[in-house]
Structure 1
Amino acid sequence: MTRDDSIGFASRPGLRPRLSPLARSLRAVGWLGLPLVGACGIAAAQTTPTTQAAPESAPTRLERVEVIGVSPLPGQGIDRNVLPYSTQLIKRERIEETQAVNLSDFLNRRIAGVQVNDIQGSPFQGDLTYRGFRASPLIGAGQGLSVYLDGVRINEPFGDVVNFDLIPEFAVNTISLVPGANPAFGLNSLGGALAYTTHDGRSAPGLRAEVSGGSFGRKRIDLSHGGNDESGWHHYLSATLFDERGWRDVSAGHLGQLLGKLGHDDGTTSWSVSLLAGRSKLVGNGLLPAYTIDGTALTDDLYVRRNAAVYTHPDLTRNRLEQVGLNLRHTLDADSSLSALVYVRRTQRDTINGDAADAPDTGGTSANPEPTGNNAAFNTTQTRQTGSGAALSYARTSGAHQWQVGGSLDQSRVSYRQIEQEGFFTVTRGVIPAAGEPPELAANVQGRSTAAGVYATDTWQLAARTHLTATARYNRSAVSNQLTVRDDVTGIVEDKARERFTYQSLNPALGIAQRLGDAATTPTVFANLARNTRVPTVIELGCADPNEPCRLPAGLQADPFLEQVKSTTAEIGLRWPLAAGTHLNVAVFRTDNRDDILFRSVNLSGQLGYFANFPKTRNQGLDSELALTLGAVDLGLGYSFLDATYQADGVLRQGRRNVTIAPGTRVAGLPRHTVKLAAEWRVAQAWSVGADAQLLGSRGVAGNEDGLLEDTAPGAQPQARRLKIPGYAIVNLRASWKPGKQWELYANANNLFDRRHESFGALAQTQFSPEGAFTGVGREALFVAPGTPRALFVGMRMRF
């Protein structure tokens, strides 16, 4: 029995009353709509005389040919209008216009189907999802997006995680987002592929600089210099420094990035060598208990009292990167070219985590908060990863065919070590190692992986307005590891037997794009069917035994075999250039995942759990966007519907609960409805103002997927209550002034109405009182990921 009496936090004592999610969304749209309506009216009144005087017979060019890559390797692309799936190609100018916090924030604001959850709380540790598939820096997240930087796959070998803090954002020239299980983009492209391409001295000549700062003590400096000469040589150098104290307690963050490129282009052969280095020190404070649960009653806890609080600390991650890459393209003749890539990539990751002990001593109370024993665990990890690889492709246009064949080989070595030490909580819930308690090895792993693949893709013009695209890729992967672990009971350190698993797959895709006429305003319809796979990583294979759960970032055991994930995507859609400056894109999709790898947590707040296959999950829905220009005003509207469900009977371990899953049970943490609005008004030649808004529907809570609050003993009455994170609307404003050709001053207000919101929720246990004192008594609680409050920033851009 479940009762669908969805709760919103505002209904609880201590918070101001809230409207329903729909009413709140409409009110936010109204606030945004007032300036938009005024802008549209002024724009109509300010139609330029040139536009009015244009003869009706004058030819109007409504389309731009935008070329997008059909594989990760930079090289010859194809007109995106003839591809049988929806794609996004975002250029630097559009990114800067939005004035987003970073690239992930831009995608969250402007691209249909993309969302970013603030699970960690750091702007560079966001959990990015596209159509319900994730690219995340969190080990244990079910990764379903492949991410590339200049053709180099940056999903790390250990867990397929993506360290967004190590992407040189200021140097990024374009972003390509390709949806679905596209086999050309290699393993892990289950829900799509995200490809970043950086500048060189030809695309960004001269000096560029940007300085910004504002709320939370945030300061950022970006610099770049590029150049080229008539002999074909070109160079580029980009650097970024970022520093903030953060808006939550003990959440300071710092990072630095450096990218250098040197290359040559003689018209036939073009090559460039790049060196990328990055350092970061970021805090991800994670979830915070909002309410404790007694029966079906909710009592305010830490989050309600103060949303900037943290549950426990420290939660520190230090990342370090060095990468060298060589990209080469050789034009064989007017119709064919050869592209190649070679790279070496080395990353280091060190974490410090203060967590509650698995069996804590009874501690203080609200009257006497001092701990009385070792009630916490001070955990540290060190991860060292070295990856190298090469890729080669040959592209040719042969009559009605644009085809490409290629292959790639990627190898990696992983060294991981986890140390545990008993500790105790301070009055601020910080963890200090206990004196006299030596650090102990929890797990050590040495792992290797090799992935080889060959692919072929062809876009065939069957008729003047009809294009058929077929793709196939064969993959062969091997993953091995040697584990050393300490038995929790005996304390004996033991070497496990070496494991090695091999996976093979042949993945096809077939699609058609049909233009319905010859006029520039004629729509194109398309359909596509694709299949791809994801191979388990070292962490997933080493943590798959429910009897020996692991502590993430990772505690590893020699465990059962996991099947590779097999995803099939079907997509149909429409691209319609309605008029000059106006277009409509719609895509309907369904992706079925067989043997999906899910992390089944034993303790959400303590990060204990294990990985296991689930028979079938499904992500289906609709993405749509409408863009139009009315005089001096550009408007954008995006709507996404996502239905992410389990499609088999099963039991998921979520925190302290065994959740019973039936076909149709919704996946937690993903809203069904998302609306994105944007407007840009060029007030004058040097002035522009803009706004954007994101309206998200409610989402389910992890551990409450079946509508129950706890596991029920046989014959007992279930405690049923459907919990949901309420929907919300966020409005952002910005303004820009260009006093000269080389200068731009800007300001923006994010979350203008200071809307308190939450992007994720989970059931777990808290061992602290609502005042934050350690009690040693576990209480069931609803934990949430707090959203960032209102923030104000100003900045300056310079180009010389």
Structure 2
Amino acid sequence: MPANLPPPRRRAVPGGAALRLAPRRGALCRRAATAIALAVALLAALPAVAQQDNGVQIGDNATLPEVMVVATAPLPGIGVDRDLVPYTVQTVSGDDLNGKRAGTLAEYLARYLTGVNINDIQGSPFQSDLTYRGFRASPIPGASQGLSIYLDGIRVNEPFGDVVSWDMIPEAALESVSLVSSANPAYGLNTLGGALAMTTRSGLSSPGFTADLSYGSGNRKRADLSGGIRSGSGWHAFAAGTLFQEQGWRDHAEGRLGNLFVKAGHEGETTSWDVSLLHGRSTLIGNGLVPSYRASGNALLPGLYESNRAAAYTYPDKTRNQVTQVALNGRHWFDDKTSAAMLAYVRTSRRDTTNGDINPDYDTYTEDCEDGFTADGSPRKSRCGFTRAEGAALDPAVLNTTHMWQQSIGMALSAAKETEHHLLNAGLTFDRSRLTYSQYEQLATFTDDRGVVADPNAPNQLFSGVSGTSRAVGLYLSDTWSLTPSTFLTASARWNHVTVSNTLRNSDGSEQPQESFTYRRLNPALGLTQKLGGGVSVFGGYAQNNRVPTVLELGCADPAQPCRLPAGLQADPYLKQVVSHSYEAGARWRPSKDTEVSGTFYRIDNHDDILFLRAPNTQQGYFANFDRTRNQGFDLSARQRLGDFTLRLGYSYLQATYQANGQLAVGERTIDVKPGMRRAGVPRHTIKLGVDWQALAGLTLGADLVGVSSSPANGNEDGLRANPQPGKAPKYADWSTPGYATVNLRASYRVNKHFEIYARVANLFDRRYETYGQISNDLFPGNLLRPHVTPEDNASALFVAPGAPRSAWVGVVYRM
């Protein structure tokens, strides 16, 4: 057996999740009847949901020490001591993800994990635009995705755009979450900057019943219920559900969701299996960006954001999601050092959106009345008496609706073998997806607060659509080789073969000829870890991975037939696959269970990155390959326990830059990109400080601070803004979003073994801050009731994503 690897009788949680081993028990839970009743009640209340528990333990582990292991791939295998892998793995247990620490999974990751940030572009807690080392996992179609997301070994990046539906992750059922760094090829497609791997609970690991109920700011109500049972003969069952509803802190920002997760199976001495079902529905409002300061000549005039922090620019912006997933899992141990596992799943999702916006074909109004005179004697114009310009469109607004249906089926086989000096994990995956997408437009009018109401006399017309399929085959092998008792070589490789076929539909319903593209890639990785003694180890490695173009990107890849985001498919010429080259080196120091320090330097070069570029002589754009982008930086993490106090530190330095010349289409501007120019929405510095104090036997108090430096606004990467005078050169304007820091508090009190109460306060000092910025034209200058642009108003404005004000929640947890 490789030196310093855990004994073979252990279970590696798929997806790289950490696991603390505990003795296995066979007694029936005393609360079995209650847990069964809970599962039945949840099934009746919500459409069903579930996932799987992958892996099996052999024999009695009562004599084994507590070991922290991580998997080397998202499929079941034999785990490796996390100090031996040549990359960074940050792990979170399911107990840490409860409501007393943070409101949602994405919020928790942004507060506690080094290198993670959130751009609150949509303004909904379950529609977060999450970044890790500058790579995104976002629910926004058209965003350049660079992180792979797994739930119990199933990749949940949706086929259309690789988007992530955070609202469809069963947070109440999560047992562990691992964030794996680098372009690790074993984690498959889209792992350019890292992978987020989640595993769910089972009746074996979580017997009993738990209810977590909370209420607070924004009229937010949430209930997380879970219950599990297990028997002495190896049968087990688990159910968990979440109900969420809020009014939201912004105008027109209500949202609700419900999901249910159910798992049942059997664990024997050598074989285990389980079946799981996941179902969820949500209706969420994403208000998006709101105009802040706008340019008027050489002056900056305050915008809607300054007058109303909670305002929505235009609305509605509604997303309805629905997901149903069924999975079958099995694993067999041939002996203490050899196992095989299988996974099969079907996942179906729907996404329907409604978005009110300004009609792009609408000619702006002019004013025809005067109201007094200004100081220089010129007439002062009022905000009334609009007249339509000659040839103007009849309706100033448009109501966009989209309908998306996706289905993925897949299977996977994996095998693991441990020898004296090697730990081998291998796997084969097959995934096939089908999708249909349609976008419709209906002319509309604005209400007095910029709400969009469809014109009942206008038809709801097809704008664009696509149907397509994709097939992906992956084959990987990894080996952790103990060269000496203190030196470990990790080598892995994965071969990907992907075929994407699309058929585009025109606005008249006719179909374009089918296009089909095939992508192949062999991605290697090699790393070395050296243990130096005293709890110190150093590591370094190189890895490659790739991302194939999505249906959305292929459907808008012709400069002669440009489109506008988030949809508007026109043509699908060939795009190259994105290939990332990742270099990582660092050191870890873990002298005891109370002290952990790690530091990592990394560089990730993305070749043939896919960006949205400006089409010639238009205000629209298209997706195209961009020669090279680079994300490089340094991460530092530390944790120290001092008696009743636990201290945390996380610091990130990140340079996310373009490394080639080109032009980007951003809002109303074309950005001339030069090597070394920073990418938008990515702060250079992020610091996270935290403390937890066990003040009394049952009382825990905690606080954390998150500080973020400024970041370039999208459309202002070059430090310029558009000049309203035709033919004039752009003007200098540093419109980057400023840095900020927020302080959050939490407290929990364990009343007895059954009850716990808690409270959370976010943004304690009510700091006014913005997490993202984009340059565009404000067509409602001065909060006008209709789109209106005069020559002096026709200038750029900074649109921002407002951070939430001070908020507080209280909750109670009941366990039995």
TM (normalized to structure 2)?
A: 0.87
Match of 2:744 in 1: 732
Q: What is the Cα deviation at residue 278 of structure 1?
A: 0.2
The answer as to 2:456 corresponding to 1:460 is no
2:464 is matched with which residue? 443
Q: Can you list the C-alpha shifts for 1:109-162, whole angstroms capped at 9, x where unaligned?
A: 000000011000000000000000000000011000000000110000000000
- Kept in 2, the 8 Å contact 1:363–1:375? The answer is no
Q: CA deviation at 1:560?
A: 2.2
Confirm or deny: 8 A CA contact 2:781 2:788 kept in the other structure.
no
Residue aligning to 1:535: 548
**Larger RCO: Structure 1 or Structure 2 (Cα < 8 Å, ≥ 6 residues apart)?**
1
Q: CA deviation at 1:418?
A: 0.9
Which range moved further: 720-729 or 95-104?
95-104
Q: Which amino acid aligns with 2:506?
A: V
Whether the 8 Å contact between 1:369 and 1:427 is mirrored in structure 2 is no
| AA partner of residue 324 (structure 2) | E
Q: How does 1:638-657 map to 2 (within 5 A)?
A: 638-657=650-669
Q: Which 5+ residue runs of structure 2 have no aligned equivalent?
A: 1-64, 368-381, 389-393
Please list the CA deviations of residues 40-74 of structure 1 after superposition, one character each: whole Å capped at 9, or x if unmatched: xxxxxxxxxxxxxxxxxxxxxxx963111111113
Query: Which one of 410, 424, 428 corresponds to residue 403 of structure 1?
Result: 424
SS of aligned partner of 2:95:
helix
C-alpha contact (below 8 Å) 2:325/2:348 kept by paired residues: yes
Answer with 665-674 or 430-439: which moved more: 430-439
- Aligned partner of 2:234 in structure 1 is 232
Q: 1:722 deviation in Å? A: 2.1
**Counterpart amino acid of 2:199?**
T
Q: 1:10 — aligned with what? A: none
CA drift at 1:96: 3.1
The answer for the alignment partner of 2:321 in structure 1 is: 319
Deviations 1:341-364 (A, max 9, x none): 100000000000001111214458
Q: Separation in 2 of the partners of 1:363 and 1:250?
A: 27
Distance 1:712 1:284, change over 3 A: closer
1:257-282: CA deviation from partner (whole Å, max 9, x where unpaired) = 00000110012111110000000000
Match of 2:3 in 1: none
Whole-Å separation in 1 of the counterparts to 2:460 and 2:77: 51
State the one-letter code of the partner of 2:548: V
The verdict on how the C-alpha distance between 1:651 and 1:711 changes in structure 2, with shifts beyond 3 A counting, is farther
Report deviation, 1:553: 3.4
| 2:587 matches 1:574 | yes
Query: One-letter code of the match for 1:756?
Result: R
1:370 CA displacement: 8.7
User: What's the counterpart of residue 610 of structure 2?
Assistant: 597
d(CA) in 1 for partners of 2:469, 2:385: 47
CA shift digits 1:355-385 (9 cap, x unpaired): 1111214458773399974001111010000
Q: CA deviation at 1:398?
A: 1.1
8 Å CA contact retained: 1:371, 1:425: no
**Superposed, which structure 2 residues align to 1:411-430 within 5 Å?**
411-430=432-451
Matched, 1:388 2:409: yes
Aligned position for 1:564: 577
Structure 1 position 148 matched with structure 2 position 150? yes
The answer to whether the aligner puts 1:502 opposite 2:523 as a matched pair is no
User: Is the contact between residue 351 and residue 405 of structure 2 (CA under 8 Å) also seen in structure 1?
Assistant: yes
Query: For 1:41-440, what aligned pairs fall within 5 Å after superposition?
Result: 65-96=67-98, 99-363=101-365, 367-368=383-384, 373-440=394-461
SS in 1 for 2:743: strand
Q: Is the 8 A contact 2:240 2:260 kept in 1?
A: yes
1:587 paired with 2:600, answer: yes
**Superposed CA offset, 1:448-493 (max 9, x none):** 000101010000000001100000011100001111112xxxxx54
The amino acid of 2:280's aligned partner reads: G
CA contact (8 A) 2:329 2:344 kept: yes
Number of matched pairs: 728
Deviation for aligned residue 1:714: 11
For the 8 Å contact 2:613–2:663, the answer to whether it is kept is no
| Distance across 1 between alignment mates of 2:430 and 2:337 | 26
- Aligned match of 2:505: 484
Q: What's the offset of the Cα at 1:602?
A: 8.2
3-state DSSP of counterpart to 1:516? strand
Aligned equivalents of 2:668, 2:490: Cα separation in 1: 48
Selected match of 2:676 from 661, 664, 671: 664
Change in CA separation of 1:601 and 1:740 when aligned onto 2, cut-off 3 Å: farther
- Residue 548 of structure 1 is matched in structure 2 by 561
CA distance in 2, matches of 1:98, 1:795: 7
Give distance in 2, aligned partners of 1:351 and 1:623.
38
Letter in 1 for 2:806: R
Deviates more, 1:93-102 or 1:535-544: 93-102
1:26 aligns with none
Q: Secondary structure at the match of 2:96?
A: helix
1:513 partnered with 2:529: yes
1:4 aligned residue: none
- Does residue 749 of the first structure (1) align with residue 761 of the second (2)? yes
Show the counterpart of 2:807: 791
> In 1, Cα distance between the equivalents of 2:727 and 2:224?
64
- Kept in 2, the 8 Å contact 1:98–1:106? The answer is no
- The residue type equivalent to 2:452 in the other structure is V
Q: 1:790 to 1:653 in 2, by over 3 A?
A: same
Structure 1 97/120 Cα, relative in aligned 2: closer, same or farther at 3 Å? closer
| Compared CA separation, residues 765 and 344, structure 1 to 2 (3 A) | same
SS in 2 for 1:774: coil
User: In the TM superposition, what is the alpha-carbon distance from 1:770 to its structure 2 partner?
Assistant: 2.1
Aligned to 1:630: 642
Paired residues of 1:602 and 1:655 also in contact (CA < 8 A): no
What amino acid maps onto 2:804 in structure 1? T
Name the stretch that deviates more: 426-435 or 533-542: 426-435
Query: Is 1:709 the counterpart of 2:721 in the alignment?
Result: yes
Change in Cα spacing, 1:68 to 1:438, as seen in structure 2 (3 Å) is same
- Structure 1 distance, partners of 2:614, 2:284, is 24
How far is the alpha carbon of 1:99 from its aligned partner? Answer: 1.5
User: For each residue in 1:79-124, what CA deviation from the matched residue of structure 2 results, as whole angstroms up to 9, or x when unmatched?
Assistant: 1111111111211233338620111101000000000110000000
Contact 1:285 1:313 in 2 (8 A): yes
Q: 1:757 to 1:246 in 2, by over 3 A?
A: same
Alignment map for 1:712-723 (pairs within 5 Å): 716-723=728-735
CA distance in 1, matches of 2:155, 2:386: 48
The equivalent of 1:681 in structure 2 is 693
Matched residue type, 1:480: S
1:542-593 Cα shifts (integer Å, max 9, x gaps): 0112343334332211232111000010000111014440110111100000
After superposition, the Cα gap between the structure-2 partners of 1:533 and 1:464, relative to the gap in structure 1 and judged at 3 Å, is: same
Contact 1:497 1:558 survives alignment (8 Å): no
What TM-score comes out, normalization by structure 1 length?
0.89
Partner of 2:538: 525
C-alpha change, 1:168 and 1:602, in structure 2 (3 Å) is farther
Alpha-carbon offset, residue 724 of structure 1: 1.3
Which residue does 1:31 correspond to in 2?
A: none
Gaps of 5+ in 1: 1-62, 487-491
Distance in 2 (CA, whole Å) between partners of 1:375 and 1:171 is 46
CA RMSD of aligned residues (A): 1.9
Letter in 2 for 1:729: A
Cα deviation, 1:628-676, whole Å, max 9, x if unaligned, reads 0111000001100000000011111111211111110000110000000
Q: Distance in 1 between matches of 2:481 and 2:498?
A: 31
Say if 1:369 and 1:774, in contact at 8 Å, map to a contact too: no
Structure 1 residues 385 and 775: CA distance shift in structure 2, 3 A: closer
For 1:294 and 1:208, the matched residues in 2 are separated by: 57
Could you tell me whether the CA contact under 8 Å between 2:77 and 2:415 is conserved in 1?
no
